[in-house]
Copies of this chain bind each other. A is one copy, B any other.
Amino acid sequence: MPAQPRLLRESRLCIVGLGLMGGSLALALQGRAAALSAGDSDEAVCSTALQRGIVAQASPDLVLAAQADIVILATPVQTIIRLLAELGGRLKPGTMLMDLGSVKTPIVEAMDRLPDTLQAIGGHPMCGKATAGLAHADPDLFQHAAFVLCATRRTSDACLSLATEIVSALGARAVEMDGARHDAIVATVSGLPYCLSAALAYTAGLRAQDEPAVWSLAASGFRDTSRLAGTDPTVMADILLSNAPAILADVAMAQAVLSELASLVRAGDHEPLRLYLRQVQAYRHAWENESALP
């Protein structure tokens, strides 16, 4: 087996999937790798990426991935799992595979099954936008974000080291944990917010059928709480189904909290309700104190 590059600047890097995440990754890694290429099943996306100089080469198939030293999968989760099965036999020995999928257990399992001539590590940058697609790609998307890395049976020390270098090059900070722990946390901080945001938009939509002024009177509170409801439905269906047990557990817990809150409102006593809402506010402040976000 030939010696493989162990530094990003010596590596030919191929990004598979040029949506918001893959496109932002390509923009953020400009000039950091020996060569930057991309695969995207949509030929129009490949053309745009070449025209804008986002990558040096682009192809609607996996030919460029087969030539790369590092392949980063930036497609929806179910596609990542399918691609891992497909790419196993096609990549050069020593190639490093990484992904940006928002669910890790099934991806780590699929990486565990790769030929032992390959290296692989799960990745999930904790950032995003409600807008999808290459047109919204942003080189600063990863700045200051937590970037979870999940080791697999195919993660050597050199692979972990190279993944950490990529995370640093993006301006993010690496956080190592196993897939199950990642998935439980992400259900709470990402899946549940989406589900509650969706419940708000859907309920308001039902109300608006009889009362159109619902839309014109909804202001900044509605805007922020319902922002995630604008997320691409195909991507979200993929995420919810890939992490279903953890998300269902969190939705059930949020339903119990809502029922408790409703009981306090129904009871009509100010002080017990105020104390409950003070705890709500304290939890929100606990996040603000821990967060690096503005």
What B residues does A265 contact at CB under 8 A? 240-241, 244, 247-248, 251
Q: Please report the C-alpha to C-alpha distance between residue A188 and residue B206 in the assembled complex, in whole angstroms.
A: 10
What B residues does A194 contact at CB under 8 A? 221
User: Known: A230-B284, A258-B195, A277-B233. Is A220-B127 also a contact (CB below 8 A)?
Assistant: yes
The answer to whether the Cβ of A79 comes within 8 Å of any Cβ in the partner chain is no
Q: How many copies of this chain are found per oligomer?
A: 2
Counting chain A residues whose Cβ lies within 8 A of the other chain, the interface size class is 35 or more
Contact B200 A254 (CB under 8 A): yes
User: Known: A202-B257, A216-B146, A233-B277. Is A224-B221 also a contact (CB below 8 A)?
Assistant: no
User: Which A208-228 residues have C-beta < 8 A from chain B?
Assistant: 208, 211, 213-228
Contact B199 A254 (CB under 8 A): yes
User: Which A235-294 residues have C-beta < 8 A from chain B?
Assistant: 236-238, 240-241, 244, 247-248, 250-255, 257-259, 261-262, 265-266, 268, 270, 273-275, 277-288, 290-291, 293
Among A222, A275, A278, residue most surrounded by chain B Cβ atoms (within 10 Å): A222
A257 is contacted by which of B199, B208, B252, B254 (Cβ under 8 Å)?
B199
The answer to whether the Cβ of A89 comes within 8 Å of any Cβ in the partner chain is no
What B residues does A177 contact at CB under 8 A? 213
A281 is contacted by which of B185, B229, B281 (Cβ under 8 Å)?
B229
A189 is contacted by which of B127, B189, B221 (Cβ under 8 Å)?
B221
Q: Please report the C-alpha to C-alpha distance between residue A283 and residue B281 in the assembled complex, in whole angstroms.
A: 28
The answer to whether the Cβ of A234 comes within 8 Å of any Cβ in the partner chain is yes
